[in-house]
Amino acid sequence: MQEKSERKSNKYRSEEMRARLLSAARALFVEKGFAETSTPEIVKAAEVTRGALYHHFADKTDVFRAVVWAEAAAITEAIEAAAIGTEKDPLLAGSRGYFEAMRVPGRVRLMLIDAPAVLGLAEVAAVDAGNGRGSIAAGLREAAPGLAAAQVEALALILSAAFERAALEVAQGAPQDTYIDAFRTLWDGVVAGAPR
């Protein structure tokens, strides 16, 4: 006979519960946005109670924070997975990878629309520190070594904003190649015009 009440370690239970909550929360945030999603909805979808949610997270914002960090990790992973073996043009590969990653439904809303409003700019900057901006800055330093450090930083920042906006359009159905071309135009222009 099987055991009726399966014994589980606290650690296992906690991880299980966190995953359930985050999964349910992610689905709702993606579908309806942060403001329109309530904690009762989240716990109902996860088939638990609000007690569990507030045991694992400080508040609703904290749930959102966890979802965003997890999503950022997933995006980074997707980009890296898409980039392996594509050594000939890392910029193009990275662009395509990011665009594809951001086409996962709702990601744009989650990461580019809601996250800045809910978490603030500072935290969002920290979230994708390893992502776009860093890669762009590194690429700039390599392709245009004559640029001053401050210029590299400024250019990387506004280029990454341009890039994100392009991804947003692509995610909403705009033709990917148009925006890859557009971004490449910016990039090439910067590199060509930079002091050598």
Q: List binders of DNA among 30-49 (CB under 7 A).
A: 37-41, 48-49
23 belongs to the binding site for DNA (CB under 7 A) = no
Nearer to a second copy, 25 or 168 (CB): 168
Of 124, 134, 55, give the one whose Cα is nearest residue 94: 134
Question: Would you say 56 and 14 are in contact if contact means Cβ atoms under 8 Å apart?
Answer: yes
State the minimum distance, in angstroms, from the CB of residue 66 to DNA: 13
Of 80, 76, 190, give the one whose Cα is nearest residue 141: 190
Q: Which of 59, 80, 177, 188 binds DNA (CB under 7 A)?
A: 59
DSSP H helical ranges for 84-175: 90-102, 107-108, 115-119, 121-127, 134-143, 149-171
Number of residues that bind DNA (CB under 7 A): 27
Core vs surface per residue 79-116: b (16+ CB within 10 A) or e: beebbeeeeeeebebbbbbbbbbbeeebbbbbbbebbe
Look up tokens 């099987």; give the residue: 2
Nearer to a second copy, 57 or 183 (CB): 183
Window of 5-13, 66-74, 98-106, 116-124 that interacts with a second copy by CB under 8 A:
116-124
Q: Which of 19, 81, 113, 129 binds a second copy (CB under 8 A)?
A: 113
* Contact of residue 150 among a second copy, DNA, none (CB under 5-8 Å per partner type): a second copy
**184: Cα within 13 Å, side-chain hemisphere:** 14
Nearer to DNA, 21 or 136 (CB): 21
Residues making contact with a second copy (CB under 8 A)? 33-35, 113-114, 116-118, 121, 150-151, 154-155, 157-166, 168-169, 172, 174, 178-179, 181-183, 185-186, 188-194
